[in-house]
Amino acid sequence: MRLSSLILAAGPALIHAAAVAKNSTASSTTTVAKNGTASSTSSGVVGTAYGFAKGTTGGGSAKPAAPKDIAELKLWLADSTPRVILIDKLFNFKGTEGSVKETGCRDFRPGTKCTAANGGQDFIRVKQCDAGWKSVPVTYDKAGVDALEIKSNKSIVGVGNKGVIQGKGLHIAQGSSNIIIQNVHITDLNPQYVWGGDALSIEGATNVWVDHCKFSKAGRMFIVSHFKGNTVTVSNNEFDGVTPGSATCNKNAYWGLMFIAPGEKITLDKNYFHDMSGRSPKINGQGSLLHATNNFFSNNLGHNFEISTETFALLEGNSWVKTTEPIQAGSGPTFADGGAACTSSLGRACVGNEATGSGALPKLGSTVALAAFAKVKANLVAPTAVANTQASVMKSAGVGKI
């Protein structure tokens, strides 16, 4: 594949730089910490899926068990048995499949200011470089580019703050359904290279709940969706963009979340995005819906929301601090203005958003977007006041906080 055929997928970086309740079907327990928040034990999923992933039960009442090593983890994830899989330690895949030495590509076109020579990323797994690009030797960890496959009816649950999958991402294939990923840190997938590895890829799956996880140091996307419509809730996660190799050469990850399947329904609730420079999130699947509520964005040296003209977005209760461009100009049908204009469509007023020390929030009051969300009211999250977003998210988002 020529590099030019990948540019559209790689995106603007090349232009710039070139409610906790017990799950009734799962064996889950919680203990109450001194601060009154729930903390996880080694018994399984905490809480109940909501939003567009409402009804997701994962491994259900299967007995929770921890795999003894990476081989058993790989086997359990990919089999057809309903499972509650405990990630109770570091599962380190780095070096387990060897390394690859090959020829990669680097942008040397006139005017290009961001390359791997000054903190950018080279491209790997490309058969031919385009004009203006030069071939460069690259070496990467093979495990990072081939993800672990997850089949239906699985709960993957970290224990305390111990659950880490290093050097390999997760892949939910077409036709899979009913999957919960909770309280797991996925990290270190060849971050110095574009196409170094996605932390989580979802391809035409229904009922996926990603909750209280942390994503860091990925070579490509933290979360990416493909093919036909997915129904997903992404909640209470930390997206840590600090990276040694940035497509925008500012130590901020450009490759955040990208939802590109047609007809998707995505809930994005109470997540923490920091040190990002783009695509956090990007949505451009035709006819897709994104409801983003009470997310906190901090120290982002690029844009966050990138919303195509083919999609619909409803943004409520989101807070930005020190963010260059909270919502990219030219967004598609989006309602983000808050207020009573939502009442006739949603039966309630919408909660407004706020930005402090950041780029201005554009006026986005699309009634077309409201009409689209009126059809799915049963799955919409009831946002809380934006004044509470930062404190609430900082207290609860990420691993070890359930």
Residue whose entry in the numeric block shows the structure tokens 């207020």: 339
Q: Please spell the DSSP secondary structure of 256-314, one letter per residue.
A: -EEE-STT-EEEEES-EEESB-S-TTEE--TT-EEEEES-EEEEEEEEEEEE-TTSEEE
**Catalytic residue of the set 2, 109, 279, 348:** 279
For residue 67, is the peptide bond before it cis, meaning its omega torsion is within 30 degrees of 0?
no
Chain CA centroid to CA 276, Å: 12
Distance CA 291, CA 13 (A): 25
Would you call 279 a catalytic residue per the annotation? yes
> Taking the CB of residue 143, how many other CB atoms lie within 10 A of it?
25
Distance CA 25, CA 23 (A): 5
Which region holds residue 363: left if phi is over 0, alpha if psi is between -120 and 50, else beta? beta
Distance CA 242, CA 180 (A): 26
Identify whether the C-beta of residue 71 lies closer than 8 Å to the C-beta of residue 40: no
Residue whose entry in the numeric block shows the structure tokens 């574009």: 194
Percent helix, strand and coil across the chain, each to the nearest 5: 15, 35, 50
Distance CA 5, CA 205 (A): 26
Q: How far is CA 233 from CA 88, 105, 207, 212, in A?
A: 24, 36, 8, 11
Identify whether the C-beta of residue 187 lies closer than 8 Å to the C-beta of residue 398: no
Tokens read off for 41:
């034990």
Instruction: Cite the active site residues.
Output: 279
